[in-house]
Amino acid sequence: MRKPDAVSPALRVRVNAAVKELGYVPNLAASRLASSRTHTIGVIVPTLYNVIFAEYLFALHDILVAAGFHVLVVNSRYSQIEEENAIKALLGQRVEAIIITGTHHTPLSRQLLSQARLPVVETFELSPEPIDLNIGMSQENAGQTATQHLIGLGLRRIAFLTGNLDHRAQSRLDGCRLAMEQAGLRPAEIIARKPRHSSVALGSDLFAMTHESGDVPEAIFCTDDNLALGAMQECRKRGMRVPDDIAIMGFHDLEFAACSAPSLSSIATRRFETGKLAAERVLAALNSSRTPAAEQIDLGYTLIARESTAV
């Protein structure tokens, strides 16, 4: 069945007939056990709610499936414990490589990944000590750049807005604080108490909260374009004009940032490229017998200034 050409046409016909009649489907577990090849790559993402991971997975999927691999996606829900369980599950499946979001893991996770002797790619962040490959960008620098953009516009009272404070959001906040400090300022911080995933509705809620507190800043840097869009809409509802009364800055440059009204300034990040490169490097590592040297790739980011900060 796996090499139909290597068999007489007559036999091939009989085999196909039998397959169809019996509804026979080869047992992958047996095949994997016997060949010790699973043709499966494990991918861990923190959530499926955020479209950036959909884009990333799309690119990964494209390349890996074309190369004959299965892609096993697990989500860790932003929990290191769930991530550790996901790693165990993937190793138990004997995936041939693991592509994992972020660079912060439990000690056991690191240990498991290190001694598993398979290609590991950490993505979206830059690690001080990568387990193996690392493809990402400096979230802290990006946060700093965004904030410097606002400061450069003459804005002084700047707030940082986020839903849950996962590690990447925290790094952006660190960058924001650094930029403010360098300018002799301090950011206000608007952080949702209850960790909810980033959404337009949450951005709207958080801005409403801030507005009602009476302490409205001159500019808001949101960790995410969804939050930014929600904040912009809430501004309008409350009679504030963007950017005249308040400047708003997003993050990720999602598809709608260019066409929202007003259009949204953001930091463009490279999700497709991250996925594509991770997949390519994994394939390369799997095809070369010798272990390639651990490598770190900085994909960078780009500041996109649009109407929402055109003060």
Partner DNA sequence: ATGAAAGCGCTAACAC
Partner DNA sequence: GTGTTAGCGCTTTCAT
Chain contacts with DNA (rule: CB under 7 A): 2, 6-8, 10-11, 24, 26-27, 30-31, 33-37
Residue 86 DSSP SS3: helix
Q: Which does 89 bind (CB under 5 to 8 A by kind): its own copies, DNA, none?
A: its own copies
Binding partner of 6, given its own copies, DNA, none, CB within 5-8 angstroms per partner class: DNA
Among 6, 10, 30, 293, binds its own copies (CB under 8 A): 30
Q: Which is nearer to its own copies, 229 or 277 (CB)?
A: 229
| HSE of 233, CA atoms in CB hemisphere, 13 A | 15
Place of tokens 């000590």: 129
Based on the shown chain and the rule CB under 8 A, indicate whether residue 73 belongs to the binding site for its own copies: yes
The Cα 311–Cα 297 span in angstroms is 35
Are 251 and 291 a contacting pair, CB within 8 Å? no
C-beta of residue 221 within 8 angstroms of C-beta of residue 160: yes
CA distance 187 to 181: 9
Q: CB within 8 A of 75, min separation 6: which ones?
A: 44, 45, 46, 47, 48, 82, 86
Q: Which of 1, 11, 33, 81: binder of its own copies (CB under 8 A)?
A: 33
Other Cβ atoms closer than 10 A to 186: 11
Residues of this chain, 162-181, that bind its own copies according to CB under 8 A: none
Number of residues interacting with its own copies: please give it, by CB under 8 A. 51
Pick one of 61, 104, 156, 167: the residue that binds its own copies (CB under 8 A): 61
| Angstrom distance (rounded) from CA 43 to CA 150 | 36
Q: Are the C-beta atoms of 246 and 221 separated by less than 8 Å?
A: no
Smallest gap from residue 39 Cβ to DNA (A): 10
By CB under 8 A, name the one of 15, 51, 183, 303 that touches its own copies. Answer: 51
CA distance 122 to 130: 7
* Unique residue bearing structure tokens 């300022």: 185
* Residues in region 210-239 near its own copies by CB under 8 A: 229-230, 233-234, 236-237
Which of DNA, its own copies, none is residue 11 near (CB under 5 to 8 Å by kind)? DNA
Interface contacts to its own copies, rule CB under 8 A: 23, 25-30, 32-33, 38, 47-49, 51, 53-55, 57-58, 61, 70, 72-73, 75, 88-89, 91-94, 111-112, 115-116, 199-201, 204-205, 229-230, 233-234, 236-237, 255-256, 258-261
